Amino acid sequence: MNRGIQWKIVAAGVAATVAGAVAQSRSSGPSLTNVPTAQPKAAGYAPASQLSTELRQTMVAQGSMPLENRQGIVGWYGYENDTPSSTDPALPQMVPVPLVATEAQKTEPDKNTYLVLKDQTGPDKDYDYGTHFLFQGHELAATVSGKKQGYFTRINLDADTHHRVTLMATHDTDGNPLATIDGSTWDPFAQRLLFTTENATAPTYAATATYPSTVEDVSGALGMGGYEGIQNDSRGNIWIVEDIGGPPKQVTTARQPNSYIYRYVPLHPGDLHNGQLQVLQVLNEAGEPVTFESQASLCAPDQVAMRMYGKTFDTRWVPIHNAVVGSAPFNANVAAKAAHGTPFKRPENGVFRPGTG
């Protein structure tokens, strides 16, 4: 299923450049919207973050805000009640006890996925939840019965404070507690939220945006890895960027590059069970793959070249796994190494820029 496409990659901006390569605006793909008064591009430097004039920053939720539908220890937007308050056991200990470092588990809501949806329901069947929503996985969790108790929430931007945050799911379709979640996106082809877990032993999820959400483990196709960034391109492929460090290099605290960039090519757009997972392979000046092994030493030629600003490389996609319905979850990081993919230094995410492919 490798379509034989080769890309150029620019050093130092590796993840951003590659990850945007095929996110083009096409008539057959999702429609794109713009920001009428976007901040102008700054050539040669990265300016400080600044909102466009038609945007404003408003607090809509905070960690102490209770969920409208509590379940077990999962009852607050930014806390789990693994450590009850000394004054009210029904509440988590949100402030450390003096002289003792005791505090309830913070859950750190991660990436926002903003959707405008109609006919959304919630725990209160008589309430109108509006049309504007933020979906978030939570990056940290307390341990319950030997497993992390992750969850994901929906912030109802049009709702009052009593209905502001809805708990969407705490378990997958197999009854397993959700792992802690890092990256998220909306797959318009599959009509599913996609969640990554930054853990090669934890699943990759596909979840419905409806309440209550149905969360499916799709690691048999997309694999498990140190995944964080995840995004569709206009062809329905799914790009995934890792955020995982390698072993320390000799005589230094620097770690070996160990984060790969992946592309899942579905059999048909939206198919999260049948497809091919590929890893990006960068070629050095000699036409040889830049690999985990070739970047083992601190001053290895491949590692030095990969971090020279403005230097370009040829790249190609290498298949590492063909999925079929019912296939078992697999470690994508291990498969990427075996296929001589090219690891990077924890790029974490990418800028998916339309029209650059």
Burial of 60 per CB tally in 10 Å (0-12, 13-18, 19+) = middle
What pLDDT score does 39 carry? 85
What pLDDT score does 30 carry? 52
Spatial distance between the Cα atoms of 239 and 230, rounded to a whole number of angstroms: 6
Beta bridge partners of 205: 195, 217
Give 221-236 pLDDT, tens digit per residue: 999 999 999 999 999 9
Give 9-55 pLDDT, tens digit per residue: 444 433 333 333 333 333 444 555 678 888 888 888 888 888 888 88
CA nearest to 26, candidates 198, 236, 303: 236
- CA 130, 151, 120 angle in degrees (round to 5)? 20
CA nearest to 215, candidates 263, 266, 272, 159: 272
pTM score of the predicted model: 0.86
Spatial distance between the Cα atoms of 105 and 23, rounded to a whole number of angstroms: 38
Phi, psi at residue 165, to the nearest 5°? -125, 125
What pLDDT score does 37 carry? 86
* Cis preceding-peptide flag for 212 (omega within 30 of 0): yes
Tokens of 255: 């770690």
Q: Find all residues with CB under 8 Å of 84, minimum gap 6, and list them.
A: 90, 91, 92, 93, 104
Domain spans in the chain, listed from the N-terminal domain onward: 1-24+233-357, 65-230
Give 6-22 pLDDT, tens digit per residue: 444 444 433 333 333 33
Spatial distance between the Cα atoms of 123 and 168, rounded to a whole number of angstroms: 10
Q: Is 316 left (phi over 0), alpha (psi -120 to 50) or beta?
A: beta
What pLDDT score does 326 carry? 62
What pLDDT score does 7 carry? 47
What pLDDT score does 49 carry? 86
What pLDDT score does 208 carry? 99
Spatial distance between the Cα atoms of 147 and 346, rounded to a whole number of angstroms: 26
Residues in the chain with pLDDT values less than 70: 1-33, 99-100, 325-326, 352-357
Spatial distance between the Cα atoms of 183 and 235, rounded to a whole number of angstroms: 21
Q: Find all residues with CB under 8 Å of 241, minimum gap 6, and list them.
A: 15, 19, 227, 228, 229, 230, 259, 261, 262, 347, 348, 349, 350
Q: Cβ distance 280 to 260 under 8 Å?
A: yes
